[in-house]
Amino acid sequence: MSDNIIEFPKKKNLPVMQSIDNDNETSLFFAEIGFHVALDIVQALWENGYDVRNNPECIRDIFMIIETVRGLGHRSEHEEYAMQKISDATFNFFEDEERILYEFLGNLEE
Protein backbone atom coordinates (compact mmCIF):
# COMPACT_ATOMS: atom_id res chain seq x y z
CA MET A 1 0.00 0.00 0.00
CA SER A 2 1.31 3.46 -0.90
CA ASP A 3 2.04 5.97 1.86
CA ASN A 4 -0.29 8.57 0.34
CA ILE A 5 -3.49 6.54 0.27
CA ILE A 6 -5.93 6.26 3.15
CA GLU A 7 -7.91 3.04 3.12
CA PHE A 8 -11.46 3.99 4.08
CA PRO A 9 -14.03 1.35 4.99
CA LYS A 10 -16.15 0.17 2.10
CA LYS A 11 -19.20 -0.62 4.20
CA LYS A 12 -19.31 -1.05 7.90
CA ASN A 13 -21.78 -0.81 10.74
CA LEU A 14 -20.38 2.40 12.19
CA PRO A 15 -21.58 4.36 15.22
CA VAL A 16 -23.37 6.75 12.87
CA MET A 17 -25.53 3.92 11.62
CA GLN A 18 -26.03 2.48 15.11
CA SER A 19 -27.18 5.81 16.53
CA ILE A 20 -30.03 6.02 14.04
CA ASP A 21 -31.13 2.41 13.97
CA ASN A 22 -34.59 3.35 15.20
CA ASP A 23 -35.27 5.44 12.07
CA ASN A 24 -37.27 4.17 9.13
CA GLU A 25 -35.66 2.43 6.19
CA THR A 26 -35.71 5.52 3.97
CA SER A 27 -34.02 7.67 6.60
CA LEU A 28 -31.37 4.99 7.08
CA PHE A 29 -30.80 4.95 3.33
CA PHE A 30 -30.27 8.73 3.34
CA ALA A 31 -27.88 8.36 6.29
CA GLU A 32 -25.87 5.74 4.43
CA ILE A 33 -25.57 8.03 1.41
CA GLY A 34 -24.50 10.83 3.75
CA PHE A 35 -21.87 8.59 5.31
CA HIS A 36 -20.36 7.79 1.92
CA VAL A 37 -20.49 11.44 0.84
CA ALA A 38 -18.68 12.42 4.06
CA LEU A 39 -15.99 9.79 3.41
CA ASP A 40 -15.53 11.12 -0.13
CA ILE A 41 -15.12 14.66 1.20
CA VAL A 42 -12.63 13.58 3.87
CA GLN A 43 -10.66 11.66 1.22
CA ALA A 44 -10.62 14.68 -1.13
CA LEU A 45 -9.44 16.93 1.68
CA TRP A 46 -6.72 14.47 2.62
CA GLU A 47 -5.56 14.13 -1.00
CA ASN A 48 -5.14 17.91 -1.04
CA GLY A 49 -3.14 18.09 2.16
CA TYR A 50 -5.89 18.58 4.75
CA ASP A 51 -5.97 15.73 7.25
CA VAL A 52 -9.09 15.91 9.43
CA ARG A 53 -7.48 13.44 11.82
CA ASN A 54 -5.37 16.36 13.08
CA ASN A 55 -8.38 17.73 14.97
CA PRO A 56 -10.88 15.37 16.65
CA GLU A 57 -13.49 18.15 16.60
CA CYS A 58 -13.76 17.55 12.84
CA ILE A 59 -16.13 14.69 13.67
CA ARG A 60 -18.76 17.36 14.36
CA ASP A 61 -18.45 18.61 10.79
CA ILE A 62 -18.50 15.08 9.44
CA PHE A 63 -21.75 14.39 11.28
CA MET A 64 -23.11 17.70 9.96
CA ILE A 65 -22.43 16.50 6.41
CA ILE A 66 -24.22 13.22 7.07
CA GLU A 67 -27.22 14.94 8.66
CA THR A 68 -27.38 17.52 5.88
CA VAL A 69 -27.57 14.75 3.28
CA ARG A 70 -30.34 13.10 5.32
CA GLY A 71 -32.22 16.41 5.39
CA LEU A 72 -31.79 16.81 1.64
CA GLY A 73 -33.13 13.33 1.01
CA HIS A 74 -36.15 13.89 3.21
CA ARG A 75 -36.83 17.30 1.66
CA SER A 76 -36.74 15.70 -1.80
CA GLU A 77 -39.60 13.51 -0.57
CA HIS A 78 -41.46 16.49 0.95
CA GLU A 79 -40.79 15.12 4.43
CA GLU A 80 -39.66 17.19 7.39
CA TYR A 81 -36.33 16.49 9.06
CA ALA A 82 -34.73 18.42 11.92
CA MET A 83 -31.62 19.44 9.96
CA GLN A 84 -33.78 21.35 7.49
CA LYS A 85 -34.50 23.96 10.16
CA ILE A 86 -30.82 24.85 10.23
CA SER A 87 -30.51 25.20 6.46
CA ASP A 88 -33.81 27.12 6.31
CA ALA A 89 -32.57 29.59 8.93
CA THR A 90 -29.11 29.91 7.38
CA PHE A 91 -30.11 30.24 3.74
CA ASN A 92 -33.35 32.21 3.91
CA PHE A 93 -32.32 34.91 1.43
CA PHE A 94 -33.05 33.23 -1.90
CA GLU A 95 -35.63 34.97 -4.04
CA ASP A 96 -36.07 32.31 -6.70
CA GLU A 97 -35.17 28.90 -5.29
CA GLU A 98 -36.44 26.97 -8.28
CA ARG A 99 -34.28 28.92 -10.76
CA ILE A 100 -31.20 28.67 -8.52
CA LEU A 101 -31.72 24.92 -8.05
CA TYR A 102 -31.96 24.28 -11.78
CA GLU A 103 -28.97 26.51 -12.52
CA PHE A 104 -26.92 24.63 -9.92
CA LEU A 105 -27.96 21.20 -11.16
CA GLY A 106 -27.51 22.10 -14.81
CA ASN A 107 -28.51 19.29 -17.12
CA LEU A 108 -28.82 16.60 -14.49
CA GLU A 109 -30.66 13.71 -16.11
CA GLU A 110 -33.75 12.33 -14.43
Mean pLDDT of residues grouped by 10 in the chain (110 residues)?
A: 56 50 80 96 97 96 96 95 93 91 81
The three-state secondary structure class of 99 is helix
pLDDT for residue 106: 86
Q: What is the number of other CB atoms lying within 10 angstroms of the CB of residue 42?
A: 20
Residues 63 and 42 sit within 8 Å (Cβ to Cβ):
no
Which residue ranges make up each domain of the chain? 15-105
pTM equals: 0.75
Which residues, in sequence order, are CB contacts of 33 under 8 Å at separation 6+? 69, 73
pLDDT for residue 59: 96
Single-letter residue type at 62: I
Cα–Cα distance, 39 to 43 (Å, whole number):
6
Residues 69 and 33 sit within 8 Å (Cβ to Cβ):
yes
